[in-house]
Structure 1
Amino acid sequence: MSSKPADATFLFIAVEGNAMKKLILLIILIILTMFSGCIDYQNDFMEEDISSILLELNETKDNYILKIYLIGENSNLVKREGILKISVYDDKNNQLYYKEIFIDLGSFEHLDYGDGVLVAINKDEINKSSSRMGRVSIDFVYNGNEVWIDKPITLPYEKENTNLKSSDAYHVTYSWEYKGRIHYLDLYIPKNLYDYYKSKKREYVEDYSYYVLDPYDDWYLNRIIQKIDEICKENGYDERDRINLVISFVQQLPYTYDNISTGYDEYPRYPIETLVDGGDCEDTSILTAALLNQMGYDVALMRFSQHMGVGINLDNNYGYYYEYNGKRYFYLETTETGWEIGDLPDELKDEGAMIFPITEKPIYIWSWEGYLYSNGYAEVTVNIKNAGNLEGRIKVYCAFDAGEGYVYNPTESPILVIEPGEEKVVKLKLKVPDDENTRLIVGLLDPETNKLIDVKYSTELTT
């Protein structure tokens, strides 16, 4: 293990145990770290067995103490070293500290079962922040495997911020049941992050993947996923259980009606909002899709006339599914407890669903207004925004309806290139047909297929 002598004031490595030989080993390790800058174990530990390694983080007055310990009995170590990566962030995701440390796996030869290697992070080495709440992110890569933890912490902070209180974050404790066992999870969600999402303008579109893909909540989604994976490992659960655990976690959130909790008839929530407030079927579907998408699954939102659920694309047969573009999306119900993969409520069995896969794509939010001039022409103004996360290429189309699939005087714009978050305004003029009962057709045209992907109509008028 290579280490610089200057780091000796920050890092110490010791072993837990009661035997005198462990105390002697501790002294030897510290001396070697401070003066030689190199620790080398000459032993046959490469032939010994380890099943897996776990991480545990605790806090003292001056340090954060990381314990690296082994569990199990059988494995085959290929490399002698593991790489430990330690990062500290504040609640605005600013990195306050980063360190890479090489851990000689030979250290574990001297440990009894359940004992561990200790690494201390001196709080004085962490950059000061105006934030009171933060997190430690730790990854340990060894023998082709990776274990990691993300844990909320109280940061060392500057004196002028001593008035900050725990009210700067929502401390939410979740409990839910799966297969007869109760599971718990604590999350500390910064209020400024919650307020950020609460203040965002609601975009009312059919495709709510706009709310699924926002990136600023990824750390909190990963913390839930980490807990799901810990439960699976402890209980020997398979992939089906892993997905059902996500569903059962979301199903236990309180059901809240939009018109009661927000004053709006329709108020789609971002995942962070739902984790704090609960939500209705759209909100829990958005959260479920966000979690499963973050876990690497191919998922979609399923919109019914009065309901929303989630679809997940899986190879095996798990019950009810909907086909879309050659894929089978198995239905997931997110609002009541007890539903698992492929369980479909009776009231939905005779109803079709609109399928919106969670992928990178442009999402168009648009409106239009028109004016008829006395000179026999009409002018249409279209406001269009790309609310997705991928560049969009689109054309605006206008025509008067002639009935039975025919139109009068169609016109279209040049191709518009619209970046994510960008808005554009398009004006088109077209001749008004004489003495006809008609209506104005305004739509968005895909330049690749030359087909309308969205269309709106005016009321009927006589020209």
Structure 2
Amino acid sequence: MEKQKYLGLIAIIVIIFVSGCIQEQGSPANINLFASSKEGEAIRFYFLLEDANGRNIPGDGHVKLEIFDDLNNSLYYKEFDVKASEFIDYQFELTGQGIGKAYEWRVPISEIKKGISYIGLGRAVLTFVTPDGKKLYAEDTTVEIPTYTEEELTEMAEEEYNKNATNVNKTIRKGNFEVTVTKAGFFVLYEWGERKQYFRVDMQVKNVGSESDYFSTSEMVIIDDQGNQHETSDGTLDTFSKIYPGATKKGYILFEGVPENVTFVRLVFELGYDENFNPYLFEYNIRLK
């Protein structure tokens, strides 16, 4: 009798252990592979699941897919349910080698917003939620996305600047030059897939003298309301150029590092000389919006 009880107890323990293993092996514990490929006017996505032992398995669940550009702007988002019965036998396209059961679907490129990316690739984040609420994550950083052209980015930057810039319209005339600062404000450019912010000053420079003279932007500085000085960085006005009598040059100067929360700045520079060879000082007080 004691032997029968002992054998019965062992049998129960084995059944519980085996049941636990089967349950563990049958529950998705990780996203083994998540990838994408462009096919005509759509992006094909697919993923494979695996259990705690690394075995490929299909599974019911809820899927969330979000696509981002280089600046983490969200370009696409969708949620949907999947069934284990919808997973199909999958294989590598080039070799034909089977890789297990996978779930695949397609996203029309027309449903993905344009983004900013240096090499035309975005990042897709996949979330798989199991029936018991467990969340599994995976990323694909090689998703081909529609991107803005350089011309479109330039146009967007100009529109944003013109909408937010402060109109200055102040003219100072000294020596051979008449310099008018027309507007100023923060200006965003997208360079190599990165967002860079500058402080921009638009101006026009006219030679009002009787002889040609040289104009330079290299000495220009912005002094912010905390007393910090910022040098020129770039722009559309030549750093050093000859301007003939009666001629006018127009463009803008960019300055780096100006804090975004400033409310007042001064543009200061020297240009030309008086009869005693003392430089003329040009100074513009600019109160921002």
TM-score, length basis structure 1: 0.23
Larger Rg: 2
Q: Which has the higher contact order (CA 8 A, sep 6+)?
A: 2
Q: Which has the higher helix share?
A: 1
Q: Which has the higher strand share?
A: 2
